[in-house]
Chains A and B, each alone.
Chain A
Amino acid sequence: MTFRMLWASFKLIILATLVIGLGYTFAMTGLAEALFPHQANGSLITYHGRTVGSSLVGQQFTSLKFFQGRPSATTPPYNAADSSPSNFGPTNPKLLEEIDSNLHRFLRENPGVKADQVPPAMVESSGSGLDPDIPVEGAILQAPRVARMNHLSIQEVDHLIHQHIHGRFLGIFGHSYVNVLKLNLALEQLKNDK
């Protein structure tokens, strides 16, 4: 390794650091803000003039009048500044405890639901801790409770769920789901309209 080589490398790295590190990052930010400002700024949702979150990032719903999302392993749950899964291995006793307690809570809060109706996603925590979605069946199981707490009919709530279903891409890739925040916003809207 000659000095000439090191000197050439040094100049190349400094050039790349400036052009890519600063130039690329700033240019892409400018371009993104110009072309797709909504996405570039985090797909934020405003409700009655107040920013209530991002449609892409899950948020915690503990109140029984709302549809609830998946268990989140971040501290506190749905901490969007420190994403993390639980990292529990399959034979870790803490995983079994977690699933068991989540299942009991889900069954207690949604009377009439049987354990073998509950999709695993509703009792097992997500990969990011910020999963904004739940499986369609996970919403349908909550419909009777949500209807009762909000003085709506089950048909109205079921209709709302079906309006919010996202299917598989090309019918093949991914999984069907509903976005919890959007569903809850639609629920609020429905109550306000009445």
Chain B
Amino acid sequence: MTWQGLLQPFLLMAVVALIAWGMGTYMYRVFEGGHTFLDPIMVPLERGIYRFVGIDPDQEMRWTTYVFALLAVNLIGFIVLFILLEIQTVLPLNPAHQAHVPFWVGWNTAISFVTNTNWQAYAGEATLSYLSQAWLVVQQFLSPITGICLFLAVARGFSRQSSNTLGNFWRDFVRALLWISIPLAVIATIVLVALGSPQNLHPYTHVTTLQGLHQIIAQGPVASMTAIMQLGDNGGGFFNANAAHPFIAPNVVSLLFQLLLGFAVPAGCIYLFGKMIKDTRQSRAIFAAMAVLFLAGALIMYHFESAGNTVLTAHHITLASHANYEGKETRFGVGTTTLFNNSTTAISWGSVAASNDSMTPIGGMINLFNMMTGEVIFGSWGVGMIGMLAFAILAVFLAGLMVGRTPEYLGKKIEAYEVKMSVLAMVVPSFVILILAALSVSIAAGKAGIFNPGPHGLTEVLYAFSSGVGNNGSAFGGLNAASPWYAATVGIAMLLGRYAMYIPLVAIGGSLARKQHIPTSAGTFPTHGLLFIVLLVGTVLIVGALVFFPALALGPLAEQFAMNAGRLF
């Protein structure tokens, strides 16, 4: 480990805090009233869209109506994307003559991109035409906005009182697209091209290398897809190797820029929430809890990747350093690689700068752990924040039990309904991950897809369902994700992770909005101080992760001990 490597996560958190403030302030103006410098261009476009689509942006919606409108957009988005992928062979812009997309791969991919997961059961440059990649980009714009809408609905539950409604879905959706996604993606594309990513529609380039060998260089509209895959925390890349590919992240500056893009909106949501409830001290507490969990993960991962694969030493191979470079790129080094890969599962993101499957057991376990806790360490657009609010509700409930008072959070009384819905949301990941993983390692179709032998194979399977249900999209890449079993079951995990997990939270929003604000009294548990931060982190660790401990013991922990003993499988 070097001092540079240790410093990196702290520097990142400092910059992210600044971005949270800037983005949060801007987003508050976009969604909750106020003016922005983009209004002269965007307001006419906004009105045009409302007219074309035929909706009334001022009609306030109950939480159920809000959710149904959201589901309608996702359902139609799924159907349209699925059809377009399946007919890629008859559509233009297919210079590499990519073949038909198999049914299960199409099903999995369409769900994957509509739910903001971007799990990729295919290798982009060897499966999809340029046009198919462009259709995926459409959902890379739209699916994170679904997350923002879920967040706004929940946040308005806290900010409103004696109200039956949570805002208008169409208005939130269209404004997020016009004021946030499109302008930022356009700027990001230009920056990424300037830093080296290609952006063209030419056929793949055939060259004779310096030594005289033949090489086909896959290119295409890479930068425009990379911009929104990172900004939208989608993570589904143009190339199979994702951000490890030198065309996606040609240098460490480009990679860091992409890292900040990924943090921008999720971190902004934290401050936006504080502005909405008119108490930004609450944002600071939530940010602190997330940052603590983030830093712990990043530093542990950095330590284990630097300590490297101890099998080598046990078999008398001593190199110049112990660092694990299998599956990593030279230009990023171990420090920046682990910073990026920890972020990718902390934020429900999924873009990777190295092969997760080749990380050390504990290094890979950190990624797994970040997802198993429900991806609340910043999390994807909006949904990480509401996941954390569910944990906060549980934390004040536990604190209330300890002192025997009715819990309240942010001036709202927390009653049985809110706690039940929070627990319901938290049960989803454990249920889906453990049951589907157990099934997969019990049946032939599941076992056939495993790539690495021994406990590492179990970790691959656990990772696939954690990534699916967490709407993350990163993978232990060895697993045969394109096999019908995994394509079908990970597809189901993604659906449950998106809808079964977050709709109960919108229900909480609906219930809270109806309640009156209760004034702070001497008996109110303050939720902006150190005690609450500690309680919140503890709740995430205990409630979120303890249920997975037996599975982790059989997978990554068993492998770490075996590795230290020099055991191969």
Interface residues, chain A, CB within 8 Å of chain B? 1-2, 5-17, 20-22, 24-25, 28-29, 31-33, 35-36, 39-44, 47, 50-54, 56-63, 66, 70, 78-93, 95-96, 99-100, 103, 115-121, 123-135, 137, 166, 168-169, 171-175, 177, 181, 184-185, 188
With A84-B123, A87-B476, A99-B312 as known contacts, state yes or no: A15 contacts B200, CB within 8 Å: no
A171–B2 Cα distance when bound, in Å, is: 12
Q: Is B453 within 8 A of A32, CB to CB? A: no
- Asked if B308 is an interface residue, CB under 8 A from chain A, the answer is yes
Flag whether B416 is at the interface (Cβ < 8 A): no
Chain A residues positioned under 8 Å from B7 (CB to CB): 172
New contact pairs (10) apart from A24-B137, A66-B211, A89-B478, CB-CB < 8 Å: A15-B52, A17-B84, A21-B131, A28-B199, A58-B246, A81-B204, A87-B327, A93-B569, A99-B326, A169-B253
B210–A185 touching, CB < 8 Å: yes
Q: Which of B195, B246, B251, B455 contacts A174 (CB 8 A)?
A: B251
CA distance A173 to B8 in the complex (A): 7
Does residue B521 face the partner (Cβ distance < 8 Å to A)? no
Question: What residue in chain A is nearest B361 (Cβ atoms)?
Answer: A90
Contacts A42-B200, A125-B326, A133-B330; is A116 near B319 (CB within 8 Å)?
A: yes
1/0 contact trace for B447-475 toward A, CB 8 Å? 00001111110011000000000000000
Once bound together, how far apart are the Cα atoms of A168 and B309, in whole Å? 25
Question: What's the Cα separation between A134 and B333 when bound, in Å?
Answer: 11
A171→B333 CA distance, assembly (Å)? 13
Across the interface, do A28 and B217 meet the contact criterion of CB distance under 8 Å? no
Asked if B456 and A89 sit within 8 Å, CB to CB, the answer is yes
Residues of B within 8 A of A82 (CB): 123, 125-126, 218, 240
B240 near A92 with CB under 8 A, answer: no
The 6 closest A-B pairs by CB, nearest first: A175-B333, A174-B252, A127-B244, A85-B355, A89-B456, A87-B478
Contacts of A181 in B (CB 8 A): 210
User: Which chain B residues numbered 204 to 234 have a C-beta less than 8 Å away from chain A?
Assistant: 204-205, 207-211, 213, 215-219, 221, 223-224, 227
Residue pair B219, A42 in contact (C-beta under 8 Å): yes
Asked whether B209 lies within 8 Å of A85 as measured between CB atoms, the reply is: no
Chain B residue at smallest Cβ distance from A130: B246
Instruction: Say whether B317 contacts A115, CB under 8 Å.
Output: yes
Do A9 and B221 contact each other (CB < 8 Å), given the known contacts A20-B141, A21-B138, A177-B330?
Answer: no
Q: Let me know if B246 and A131 touch, CB within 8 A.
A: yes
Given A60-B211, A84-B240, A40 and B330 contact (CB-CB distance below 8 Å): no
Assess A173 versus B336: contact at CB under 8 Å? Given A57-B247, A85-B327, A86-B358.
yes
Q: Which of B160-190 contact A (CB under 8 A)?
A: 170, 173, 177, 182, 185-186, 189-190
Q: Is B46 an interface residue (CB 8 A)?
A: no
The answer to whether A16 touches B245, judged by C-beta atoms less than 8 angstroms apart, is no
Inside 8 A of A7's CB, which chain B residues have their CB? 54
Contact call A28/B327, Cβ cutoff below 8 A: no
Asked if B138 and A16 sit within 8 Å, CB to CB, the answer is: yes
C-alpha gap A188/B77 in the complex (Å): 54
Q: Are B252 and A33 in contact (CB under 8 A)?
A: no
Bound state CA distance, A4 and B567, in angstroms?
62
B11 touches A172 (CB 8 A): yes
**Contact present for A91 and B563 (CB under 8 Å):** yes
Q: In the assembled complex, which residues on chain A have CB atoms less than 8 Å from the CB atom of B96? A: 81
Q: Which residues of chain B have a CB within 8 Å of any CB of chain A?
A: 4, 7-8, 11, 49, 52-55, 68-69, 71-73, 75-77, 80, 84, 96, 123, 125-126, 130-131, 134-135, 137-138, 141-142, 170, 173, 177, 182, 185-186, 189-190, 193-202, 204-205, 207-211, 213, 215-219, 221, 223-224, 227, 239-241, 244-247, 250-253, 255-256, 308-309, 311-312, 315, 317-336, 352-355, 357-361, 451-456, 459-460, 476-478, 559, 562-563, 567-569
Q: Can you name 5 A-B pairs with beta carbons within 8 Å?
A: A6-B75, A32-B189, A83-B240, A95-B358, A172-B7
Given contacts A42-B205, A82-B240, A169-B252, contact A12 B53 (CB under 8 A): yes
- Checking B134, B202, B324 against A120 with a beta-carbon cut-off of 8 angstroms, the contacting residue is B324
Which residue of chain B is the closest to A181 with respect to CB atoms?
B210
Using A119-B320, A127-B329 as known contacts, say yes or no to A54 and B123 having CB atoms under 8 A apart: no
Are B190 and A32 in touch, CB under 8 angstroms? yes
Determine whether the beta carbon of A126 is less than 8 Å from that of B319: no
- Of A9, A96, A128, A169, the residue contacting B568 (CB under 8 A) is A96
B241 contact from A31, A78, A89, A130, Cβ within 8 A: A130
Complex contact B333–A174 (CB within 8 A)? yes
Complex Cα distance, B8 from A99, in Å, reads 29
CB–CB B331/A133 < 8 A: yes
Check A33–B4 contact: CB distance below 8 A.
Answer: no
| Residue pair A90, B563 in contact (C-beta under 8 Å) | yes
Q: Which residues of B contact A52 (CB under 8 A)?
A: 207-210
Q: A28–B209 contact, CB under 8 A?
A: no
Smallest Cβ-Cβ distance to A98: which chain B residue = B326
Are the C-beta atoms of B200 and A120 separated by less than 8 Å?
Answer: no
Question: Are the C-beta atoms of A116 and B205 separated by less than 8 Å?
Answer: no
The answer for the CA separation of A90 and B270 in the assembled complex, in Å, is: 38
Q: Across the interface, which residues of A come within 8 angstroms of B223, CB to CB? A: 28, 32, 40
CB contacts (< 8 Å) of A92 on chain B: these are 452-454, 456, 568-569
Q: Are A5 and B355 in contact (CB under 8 A)?
A: no
Which residues of the other chain, B, contact A57 by a CB distance below 8 angstroms?
215, 217, 246-247
Residues of chain A with a CB closer than 8 A to B209's CB: 52-53, 59-60
| B327 engages A127 (CB within 8 Å) | yes
- Would A83 and B245 count as touching, CB distance under 8 A? yes
Residues of A within 8 A of B336 (CB): 173-175
Partner of A90, one of B182, B353, B559: B559
Please, which residues of chain B bring their CB within 8 A of the CB of A43?
196, 198, 250
The reply to whether B125 and A83 contact each other, CB–CB distance below 8 Å, is: yes
* Structural contact, A90 and B309, CB atoms closer than 8 A: yes
CB proximity of B128 to chain A, nearest CB, Å: 13
Contacts of B563 in A (CB 8 A): 90-91
Contact of A47 among B130, B142, B210, B218 (CB under 8 A): B210
What A residues does B250 contact at CB under 8 A?
A: 43, 56
Q: Kindly list chain B residues whose C-beta atoms are within 8 Å of the C-beta of A137.
A: 320
